[in-house]
Structure 1
Amino acid sequence: MKLQHSLGGLQNLGPVNVETRVFVEPWEKRIFGIHTVMMAESTHLSDALPEYPIDTLPTTFKNTWTWASLRTGAEGMQPFEYFKYRYYEKWLMGISQFFVDQGYLCADELAKKTDYYRGNPAAPMPEQPCPEIKTQINAYLTKGDSGLHNLEETPRFAKGAVVRIADPEAVDHTRLPGYLRNKLGTIEVVYPGAFSYFVSTGPDGIGAPMPVYRVAFKAEDIWGKGKSEPNTTIYADLFEAYLESSN
């Protein structure tokens, strides 16, 4: 996770936003809906659990779109630009750029549509009802998709083992918080089964299904006594690729 997604221990970042509402503005619900529809039509569901009828779904969307796609786009933003925008504004920019990059529409067409709806905010949105797609979306919202697999090999680490967190090569997207790199932790839970991620992270190490562990860290071991409340434990669920023997 790059700087803007790995803020643990950083100081002088300004006031903390304590807003508890999931959606602050009405348009944010639509952005979440667009993302959900894209995931429900994504080609990655052809290999997901449970099974979905992707091959016969009557949609023109023929790409893979997952949480990893959304996060990679956000993490690719210049940090100072990233902090300027609201949460769902970043979603909107990432989704819009994806559709342009993949050729579903051009930048000029997007700009014209934007200008039109700014000038006509009450204009109806385009709608193309499709019962099959609505059924697929409802099924996806209910069942989701799982990266859980049968574990074919014994996990490398057992509960109670002390491990050192790896420091893999920096990549476009990682599931390892930066502040945990090279730190020592203790295995609290070995989750049953093996887990895969939506995409391979390449040299970062996430690809084939592997065990996942809950690792406990003393806050003072991460940030030092002067920046930590006493008797505080930090927990992180980590792929096995991110763990090394402490010896």
Structure 2
Amino acid sequence: MKLQHYLGGLEGLPEPLEMEKRVFVEDWEKRIFGIHVAMMGLSKHLGTALPEYPIDGVPTAFQDEWTWADLRTGAEAMNPFDYFKFRYYEKWLGGITQFFIDKGYVTEEELTAKVGGLTPATGTPEAAIDDQVIAYLRLGDSPRRDVAHPNFPVGSAVRIANPAADAHSRLPGYLRGRTGTVERVFEGDYAYFTHTGDGIGEPMPIYIVEFQPTDIWGPRAEAGPEKLYAELFEAYLAPIEEKS
């Protein structure tokens, strides 16, 4: 995972991070959240999701897939300096905007011309679209596709993989190459809604892996009984080979 998207476990940051506790700082952020939710509720992958939705019959101009993975990918594509400069929903706005431009829904020139006065769409059967989004909010889209088929039982010693970086990852960078112990296996095989290029996408088990702080930070780890736990897809785990 690129540096700016997972600060957990890093040392030597120049100053303490200030954590904003308000969900929405400004009113426009609620609209960005709503746009994201609507895009998820109209995503084309929902036609084969669990549960399946009659998405092909919804009269919407949105004809692409949009999931949390797409939102995260948009943020991770930002220049690190921009990433730290903008607030949470400003990053969302940037990712969503770039997605619409890349997919041809709007041009940069059209966006510039609309700044300060957006015009509501006309002639759209809004009721059917609203019904689909509300159904999605109520029923969701389960990533579980089967019962678990784990290759690593509870208690297994594992080494965390170090796959080549791609557009998006769910692997915390500071865990790469570290060793831990499987503490729990979740009950199902879970898909990720997109293929990240570093191993996840198809249904697979998910584990909670326990790490000793000294195995991550060495002698600089704080003293005490603390342990670190991470939820990891099976593609990020490898067995520890015993020395002969």
Structure 1 partner of 2:141: 145
Question: Which whole-Å CA distance do the structure 1 matches of 2:78 and 2:90 have between them?
Answer: 12
Question: Which whole-Å CA distance do the structure 2 matches of 1:94 and 1:229 have between them?
Answer: 41
Provide the TM-score with structure 1 as the length reference: 0.91
Matches within 5 A, 1:80-91: 80-91=81-92
Structure 2 partner of 1:167: 162
**Cα deviation code 1:184-226 (max 9, x no counterpart):** 1111111112011011122x11132111111111122112232
Structure 2 partner of 1:176: 171
The structural deviation recorded for 1:229 is 4.9
* Contact 2:77–2:167 (8 Å) recurs in 1: yes
Change (3 A) 1:229 1:125: farther
* Contact 1:9–1:223 (8 Å) recurs in 2: no
Letter in 1 for 2:214: E
Tell me, yes or no, if structure 1 residue 44 matches structure 2 residue 38. Answer: no
The count of aligned residue pairs is 239
Matches within 5 A, 1:22-171: 22-116=23-117, 130-151=126-147, 154-171=149-166
**Cα deviation code 1:155-210 (max 9, x no counterpart):** 111011111101111111111111001111111111112011011122x1113211
Greater alpha carbon shift after TM alignment, 2-11 vs 22-31:
2-11
Question: Which whole-Å CA distance do the structure 2 matches of 1:239 and 1:159 have between them?
Answer: 14
Structure 1 partner of 2:236: 242
Change (3 A) 1:226 1:244: same
* Contact 1:9–1:227 (8 Å) recurs in 2: no
Question: Which whole-Å CA distance do the structure 2 matches of 1:236 and 1:244 have between them?
Answer: 15
Structure 2 partner of 1:198: 193
* Contact 1:151–1:210 (8 Å) recurs in 2: no
The structural deviation recorded for 1:46 is 1.3
Structure 1 partner of 2:5: 5
* Contact 1:196–1:209 (8 Å) recurs in 2: yes
Change (3 A) 1:229 1:103: farther
* Contact 2:182–2:208 (8 Å) recurs in 1: yes
Unpaired runs of 5+ in structure 2?
Answer: none
Question: Which whole-Å CA distance do the structure 1 matches of 2:100 and 2:162 have between them?
Answer: 34
The structural deviation recorded for 1:230 is 2.3
Change (3 A) 1:129 1:22: farther
Greater alpha carbon shift after TM alignment, 215-224 vs 155-164:
215-224
* Contact 2:59–2:125 (8 Å) recurs in 1: no
Letter in 2 for 1:48: A
Letter in 1 for 2:151: R
Secondary structure of the structure 2 residue equivalent to 1:83 = helix
| Identity over aligned pairs, percent | 54
Letter in 2 for 1:221: D
Q: CA RMSD in A?
A: 1.7
